[in-house]
Amino acid sequence: MADAAAPGRTITLVRQPDRRGIGAFRLGEGAKAQFYAFREIRCEIGGRGFAVHRLGRGVLYHVRVGAPDDPSCECLGFLRWGRCKHVAGLAALVSRGRV
Ligand SMILES: [Zn+2]
């Protein structure tokens, strides 16, 4: 699945959230791919919040997408640019009704 916001980048839901709410997705970029586990978390300020954990790296990000329309993520890319692949990927899954 291609993400129009980022040419060459794909996101694929590889595991639907299970009974504990833990799922997994794959972010592809060219020939590279990274796998993430995620779990939806309660979000007090609107939108939908996810805890996202890159498998094999131990880094945990909290990502928020949806209304109100100012997403957030804790990764360095988002801090610097105000956008990132985690937000773009989860927003794409949410907009497709996959999560
Ligand atoms: Zn991010």
Span from the CA of 73 to the centroid of ligand 1 (angstroms):
5
Mean pLDDT of the chain: 89
Ligand 1: distance of its center to the CA of 87 in Å? 6
Ligand 1 centroid vs 18 CA: distance in angstroms? Answer: 23
For residue 5, name the pLDDT band (cuts at 50, 70, 90).
low
Give the pLDDT score at 2: 46
**Omega before 17 within 30 of 0, i.e. cis:** no
Q: Which helix (H) or strand (E) holds 54?
A: strand 48-54
Rounded to an integer, the average pLDDT of 77-86 is: 94
> What are the extents of the domains in the chain?
9-95
For residue 36, the CA-to-ligand 1 centroid distance in Å is 12
Q: 73, 84 in Cβ contact below 8 A?
A: yes
Residue (of 2, 27, 20, 19) closest to 77 by Cα position: 27
Q: How far is the CA of 68 from the centre of ligand 1 (A)?
A: 18
pLDDT-derived band at 7, boundaries 50, 70, 90? confident
Cα 54 to averaged position of ligand 1 atoms, centre (Å) = 11
pLDDT of residue 93: 95
User: What is the sign, positive or negative, of the torsion defined by CA atoms of 52, 62, 30, 92?
Assistant: positive
Q: Average pLDDT in the 32-47 region?
A: 92
How far does residue 65's CA lie from ligand 1's centre (Å)?
11
